[in-house]
Structure 1
Amino acid sequence: IMALRRALHFVFKVDDRSKTATFYRDVLGMKILRHEEFEEGCKATCNGPYDGKWSKTMVGFGPEDDHFVAELTYNYGVGEYRLGNDFLGLTLQSSQAVSNAKRLGWPLTEVGEALYLVEAPGGYRFYLVDKDQPHNDPVQKVCLAVSDLPKSTHYWSSLLGMKVMERNEEKKTVLMGFTDTQCKLELYSIGGTVDHGTAFGRIAFSCPHKQLPDLEALMTKENYKILTPLVSLDTPGKATVEVVILADPDGHEICFVGDEAFRQLSQMDPSGNTLLDKAMAEDKSDEWFAKHNKQKALA
């Protein structure tokens, strides 16, 4: 059953779309897969606890059917998010990204053998493995902080069905995934409280839609938090998907979406790039706040 589950994306809140687009497109070398604008907040709080106008941009090295991608959410009225210690980094293999960063003068720190640390706008960490980009997905793993490693490992493996692939007592990490070929999840014990700041992310997975009620029932039975009970989300003109949003023992947000409808919803949109560029060009929110001597809200 669990082999039918797959890792989809990580959600980042961004406060500067153009710098962010430069990072993902020009430094990492990802493509804009689709871009959508929304007039009001999302029923499953995809854009955080906000009710206003927002946008969602999916970026990755290839289609969401077989690549782990990033979901960039932008709230028009928010100027800055406070980063917590919850998201510890996304690792991808691409010597092209390393040379792009050098060429563009984007700050790079060598942190290991053929391993570089680079920060996306907003302070999100990316680790670049300086080796040829693989033909399948270059994204290798997402690392999240946990306060109690055995407890979190139990949650992710026994309840969510991830396979433990590697344990490193010394580094206090556990690496897991649904299958060997997908992006992995690494849990890292920080031995203290996990702080999500106001930038708190969310990791998304899909499963056959008929498993969603069972997943929800299991969490209820085990007394774990459900942030959004099973709900249907409509995207105008696209497939309606069902999602349930969970929280792990440290409050990391986890979205499970019905796979069948999500595969329709997540088809690449050839005009994604153009739509993002148009939205950025038309976004006059900075000017509006400046003109009214106001500052965009801190999240």
Structure 2
Amino acid sequence: MSGRRALHFVFKVADRTATAKFYREILGMKFLRHEEFEEGCAATCNGPYDGKWSKSMVGYGPEDNHFVTELTYNYGVKSYDLGNDFLGITIQCSNAVANAKKAQWPLTIESEGVWSVQAPGGYRFYLVDKPRPAGDPVQKVAIGVSNLQKSVDYWTSKCGMTLYEQTEKSALLGFGEGQCRLELLDQGEPIEHKTAFGRVAFSCPREQLPGIEAASKDAGETIITPLISLDTPGKATVEVVILGDPDGHEICFVGDEAFRELSQVDPKADGLLDEGVAADKSDEWFAKKKAKQGIQWTPGS
């Protein structure tokens, strides 16, 4: 579909220190921007939580031309349960394999030249042991589906993706050459989105957003968040519409023009993240909030 591109996948993380170490020292990515919020997101960017949270974007290069990950941290939440919805991100980067071996980070051989590794929280990455390409090293994101053909029909017709390959149990889709692809893997069972559930994001020209929303509404498909404006303190306001596919995977479309302004690399990102971690008093913050509401609370709840 004209003008559409893959942006990022959203993970909820419970340990920012361990997570930052993994992305920096194992995958070899860089933090691109970091933002702190006092209240939950109107579009549930941080999940079904209404408290203080942070967002960190991390990747191999600027969001203008790289697929990155968005790490959302909810203060006071100590863990998330994994479902069978997210199945892995594939990256071509021999340096990441070497980093993992040097740090003795657990690696599993999947096939010749391909290793798997888990980030803190259990999120899986597949590392292709070849030098980083000139473009984006992030090759594809894999998610589980319960009915492959139904999902292929949805992602091509409602999201406008191109189908590049399909087998009996898998399909590979995308918005163009050089972009991160979406891989659908048939699980042969219902898809469970537990508390760790994520979200995939794409951009499109802002003028396409109302049409995306209308097409889903007319077809009786799930609209998780109708077209809405989201503010980031001191940065650009973006418009998004969030859909739900047949298995409940969340799909965020954001207006590209404002997003390019919002997503400019912040050279202070690393420092802002480290400051946030150092100043994290989430147990104290949540205890005070619960006390005001007359609710008994214990750390880790």
Give the alignment's TM-score, normalised by structure 2. 0.95
Over 3 Å counting, the alpha-carbon distance change for 1:49 and 1:138 in structure 2 is: same
**Partner residue, 2:36:** 37
**Partner residue, 1:273:** 270
Q: Is the 8 A contact 1:102 1:108 kept in 2?
A: yes
Per-residue deviation, residues 7-48 of structure 1 (Å, max 9, x unmatched): 000000000000000011110000000000000000110000
Which letter does structure 2 place at the counterpart of 1:295?
Answer: P
Over 3 Å counting, the alpha-carbon distance change for 1:289 and 1:75 in structure 2 is: closer
Per-residue deviation, residues 141-172 of structure 1 (Å, max 9, x unmatched): 00000001010000001221100001122xx1
**Partner residue, 1:198:** 195
Q: Is the 8 A contact 2:76 2:299 kept in 1?
A: no
Q: Is the 8 A contact 1:289 1:296 kept in 2?
A: no
Q: Structure 2 unaligned runs (5+)?
A: 288-295
**Partner residue, 2:27:** 28
Which letter does structure 2 place at the counterpart of 1:61?
Answer: Y
Per-residue deviation, residues 251-298 of structure 1 (Å, max 9, x unmatched): 0000000000000000000000000011111113358889x992312x
**Partner residue, 1:128:** 127
Aligned equivalents of 1:162 and 1:293: distance in 2?
A: 46
- 1:214 equivalent to 2:218? Answer no
Equivalence map 1:108-257=2 (5 Å) = 108-169=107-168, 172-257=169-254
Give the alignment's TM-score, normalised by structure 1. 0.96
Per-residue deviation, residues 193-229 of structure 1 (Å, max 9, x unmatched): 0001111000000000000000000000111100100
**Structure 1: 4+ residue segments shifted above 4 A:** 286-290
- 1:101 equivalent to 2:95? Answer no
- CA positional deviation for 1:238: 1.0
**Partner residue, 1:261:** 258
Aligned equivalents of 1:198 and 1:293: distance in 2?
A: 20
**Partner residue, 1:50:** 49
Give the match's secondary structure for 1:268.
coil
Q: Over aligned residue pairs, what C-alpha RMSD do you find?
A: 1.4
Which letter does structure 2 place at the counterpart of 1:133?
Answer: R
Per-residue deviation, residues 60-105 of structure 1 (Å, max 9, x unmatched): 0000000000000000021110000000000000000000001111
Aligned equivalents of 1:147 and 1:293: distance in 2?
A: 38
- 1:90 equivalent to 2:89? Answer yes
Aligned equivalents of 2:173 and 2:216: distance in 1?
A: 20
Per-residue deviation, residues 171-193 of structure 1 (Å, max 9, x unmatched): x1000001021000000000110
Which letter does structure 1 place at the counterpart of 2:135?
Answer: N
Percent of matched pairs sharing the same residue: 66
- CA positional deviation for 1:133: 0.6
- CA positional deviation for 1:135: 1.4
Over 3 Å counting, the alpha-carbon distance change for 1:221 and 1:288 in structure 2 is: closer
